[in-house]
Amino acid sequence: MRAATATSASAPVSLFRRWDIWAWVGLILLAALYPLSDPTTARLLVATQIFVLITLASNWNLIGGMTGYVDFGHLTFFGIGAYTVGILMTRSKEIVFAPQLSFWQAWVFSGLAAMVFALLLGAATLRLRGPYFSIAMLATLLAMREIVRLLTPITGGGGGLDLPPELNRIEEYYLSLGLMTLSVGLMWWIRNTEFGLSLLAIREDEVGAEMRGINTTLHKTTAFALSAFLTGLVGGFWAWQNTYIDPDVVFFEPRNLEMIIAVVLGGLGTVWGPPLGAVVLYGLREFFWNRFLFAHLLGLGLMLIFVVLFLPGGLIGLMQKGRAIPLHELLRPRPAVSQEEEA
């Protein structure tokens, strides 16, 4: 065998010598300084909403974009997180005979509850591939909304739950900024590890990944649980910020759709696509909302169709061809062994 060529690309590049992470750190620092400029409460709320959308999109991208399991019911975990915080802050005395918890105490459980549910659910649904998984998850979301509506003694049913109001916009701003930093930072780190490479391998060819020694069940379950944990935390935060939850506002389909559109618009499976897509989507949503109040959902739907048809690689795909994977490729039924090989 000939000796290896010593090129600059022949060795791993230190993660901290990457320009993209420093650009991200710079943006986070600027965002952290923003409240010092004495912005209005409305502006802080807008920024918080953008951070929440970026976080949701980034979390969804871990299972939908990187692992290739297009989850049409990811909002289930948001709902579990929201209701965990809501119940523990208002009903823990009646249900578990424990003292009512503060937000910070309840918040920890929001992520954990979503993660435990994801582990149980994933044991069944992650055996499905392509569109079958997507449909199973959508059904889970719809079922969960009805379960929450029926469990009135615990969840308040259709009447919902009122949470103790805090209304500290600065605190909310920093908390959502922290969540977003954690989520996007984690995606960047995962993408640069062997775990991230394995997830991409599973996305492209699960049988092939198994034959390369990758325990696909462990990898995709971990990604699913981690994604659910972070989404549960966002749900818990959102419930506290909103001070009121009911099945319709928590399991609100457009929110589910928005996190998917943000990822597809930015670039499926890329680290920076979801944040970029979320910011652009938020801007477009506000545009539609202001000009076409009664048809803004139609606008979002048309946008998803446009992106899928004409911008399959998303905005990142425009800049780096081939980096993002089109949605339709992930939704294609994928048999374990190709028909030719079965012959």
Q: Where does this chain bind other proteins (CB under 8 A)?
A: 1-5, 7, 9-12, 15, 192-195, 197-198, 200-201, 204-205, 207-216, 322, 325, 336-338, 340-343
Closest CB to other proteins among residues 139, 336? 336
CB of 99 to other proteins, least distance (A): 37
Closest CB to other proteins among residues 12, 153? 12
CB of 70 to other proteins, least distance (A): 16
Closest CB to other proteins among residues 10, 40? 10
CB of 136 to other proteins, least distance (A): 22
Distance CA 74, CA 58 (A): 12
Give yes or no for a contact between 316 and 324, defined as CB atoms under 8 angstroms apart: yes
CB of 2 to other proteins, least distance (A): 5
CB of 144 to other proteins, least distance (A): 31
CB of 14 to other proteins, least distance (A): 9
Closest CB to other proteins among residues 151, 207? 207
Closest CB to other proteins among residues 27, 336? 336
Distance CA 136, CA 163 (A): 32
Closest CB to other proteins among residues 84, 198? 198
